[in-house]
Amino acid sequence: MNTIEHWINGALTPAGSTRTAPVYNPATGEQQASVLLAESADVDTAVSAAAKAFTSWGDSSLSQRTRILFAFRELLVKHEDELARIISREHGKVIDDARGEIVRGREVVEYACGIADALKGSFSDQVSRGVDVHDFRQPLGVVAGITPFNFPIMVPLWMHPVAIATGNTFVLKPSERDPSAANLVARLYAEAGLPDGVFNVVHGDKVAVDALLDHPDISAVSFVGSTPIAKYVHERGTASGKRVQALGGAKNHAVVLPDADLEYAANHLTAAAFGSAGQRCMAISVAVAVGEAGDRLVEILARKAREVTVGPGSDASSDMGPVVTSAARARVIDAVAQSGKEGATVVVDGRALTVPGHESGFFVGPSLLDNVTAKMQAYQEEIFGPVLAVIRAATVDEAIALINANPYGNGTAIFTGSGESARRFQREVKVGMIGVNVPIPVPMSYYSFGGWKDSLIGDSPIHGPAGVRFYTRAKVVTTRWPHTENHSAAFTFPTS
């Protein structure tokens, strides 16, 4: 059986690791590989390689960096099929959805190709007599990325192209559940001409994460994953003096007003709730049906949920693949059962679904719950599976109050034909990313991605302009070139 190794200093290596974790094919339930789990000495080896590479990469020209990023972008296009297959085989998502995450991740590389523009500083002429001021930004050094299973290529791509374009060197610790895409990305960087040690991959679990968080030669950590781990990473990383951005979990609400096109809204909610088996941080997991929209919306949603084709990600006719592990499947089944016990109506029940020929796969069908209340477990917990809960609200104000009381604030959407309601919604809701008749409002790469409240710990969103700021530090320079014989200096602050 294949053992997935680390990528350190431009080559695959087992380093000193002996511990491994199984990597499953979620569509069959079978173990298909093992992945090495780094010890802290392995992390140290990767960080040393990255620190050595920084001495020249940190000084490389903008032209050199962009040339490599352009070449890397072309290789991501060329290897799109291979990458999509790798992702689907380890994550379970359908191939077209895997392609989608590659394209959205590649857009961050495209943004990073324009780094020369994004890094331009400002210049103020003659701030005082004969004095000018300018600023510029410099890389931090070695930075680390710790990423979740649900987007094994896109989420790391939110980080490393911007970090590398701004002159840093990078150590990625991807999810141990679907680790292979990271190694192919490393190979493509090498093929694009990136010097050894600028991009490294260490596979692992908490041991590797802790070693990164405590390592004195790492300047910053980007984390994306669940909220409890985001809080932990932020606390431990900042305690050791690092800059930390930590994106956490979500419970995303879509509000549907009676004046919306309900067929349109239900179509989009179905795709947003059950696409990727609900394992997206921007998945819609709660539909808030306002007023008389409720009964009709639930009726259409139920029909559409029953029409979802569940099957292996490699089958082009599948809309939705399995969830990532048998534990994830058990969690989803449990959440649906619990909601029934707490009084919700299980309108569509996906618990018993089996896929012929794939009986041991981690499949669970779409579930639709109605009459859910804010007190129920199905509302309070991030289920991270194909479960859509419908909460009834009397007014748009009630819907906004519900969203604002929720601890998460990643994404939200409103479906309406009213500009006035949409405007009020976007101004009043305490959520970072908002869609108007758009269910999954993921910002483009030239904006920044980030939620509010428990969906983002720390204060830095990811990629785009915020990413450039996160991976760099500013210097402000005040300059005078004396050209007279007057050498006098004032003991008071200059005022002209």
Site for ligand NAD in 139-158 (CB under 6 A): 146-151, 155
State in angstroms the smallest separation of the CB of 34 from ligand NAD.
15
Angstrom distance (rounded) from CA 272 to CA 426: 19
Do 39 and 19 touch, CB atoms closer than 8 A?
A: yes
Judged by CB, which is closer to ligand NAD: 175, or 421? 175
State in angstroms the smallest separation of the CB of 349 from ligand NAD.
24
From the candidates 163, 255, 281, 364, give the one annotated as an active-site residue. Answer: 281
Judged by CB, which is closer to ligand NAD: 210, or 342? 210
Angstrom distance (rounded) from CA 221 to CA 151: 18
92 forms part of the interface with ligand NAD (CB under 6 A): no
Residue 489 tokens, joined? 């200096």
State in angstroms the smallest separation of the CB of 147 from ligand NAD.
6
Angstrom distance (rounded) from CA 254 to CA 441: 11
- 237 φ/ψ angles, rounded to the nearest 5 degrees: -70, -45
Question: What are the start-end ranges of the H helices in 308-395?
Answer: 326-341, 377-380
Q: In the beta sheet, which residues pair with residue 144?
A: 171, 221
User: Which x/- pattern over 477-496 shows residues binding ligand NAD (rule: CB under 6 A)?
Assistant: --------------------
Instruction: List Cα–Cα distances, 72 to 161, 200, 216, 448, in angstroms.
Output: 10, 15, 30, 22
Among 9, 13, 318, 455, binds ligand NAD (CB under 6 A): 455
State in angstroms the smallest separation of the CB of 112 from ligand NAD.
19
For residue 182, what are the contacts with CB-CB under 8 A and spacing of at least 6?
7, 152, 153, 156, 172, 174, 201, 203
State in angstroms the smallest separation of the CB of 258 from ligand NAD.
30
205 forms part of the interface with ligand NAD (CB under 6 A): yes
Judged by CB, which is closer to ligand NAD: 111, or 384? 384
Do 287 and 387 touch, CB atoms closer than 8 A?
A: no
Residue with smallest beta-carbon separation from ligand NAD: 225
322 forms part of the interface with ligand NAD (CB under 6 A): no
State in angstroms the smallest separation of the CB of 149 from ligand NAD.
4
State in angstroms the smallest separation of the CB of 208 from ligand NAD.
8
Do 231 and 457 touch, CB atoms closer than 8 A?
A: yes
383 forms part of the interface with ligand NAD (CB under 6 A): no
Written as one letter, the residue type at 389 is A
Dihedral (C-alpha) 269, 272, 276, 277: value to the nearest 10 degrees? -40
101 forms part of the interface with ligand NAD (CB under 6 A): no
Site for ligand NAD in 210-229 (CB under 6 A): 224-226, 229
13 forms part of the interface with ligand NAD (CB under 6 A): no
Site for ligand NAD in 237-266 (CB under 6 A): 247-250
| Catalytic-residue membership of 281 | yes
Judged by CB, which is closer to ligand NAD: 189, or 223? 223
Rounded to the nearest 5 degrees, what angle is found at the Cα of 387, between the Cα atoms of 436 and 176? 100
Count of residues of this chain found to bind ligand NAD when the rule CB under 6 A is applied: 27
Angstrom distance (rounded) from CA 139 to CA 143: 10
183 forms part of the interface with ligand NAD (CB under 6 A): no
Residue 70 tokens, joined? 């352009």
Angstrom distance (rounded) from CA 230 to CA 238: 12
Contacts to ligand NAD by CB under 6 A: 146-151, 155, 173, 175-176, 205-206, 209, 224-226, 229, 247-250, 281, 382, 384, 410, 451, 455
Q: Which residues are catalytic?
A: 281
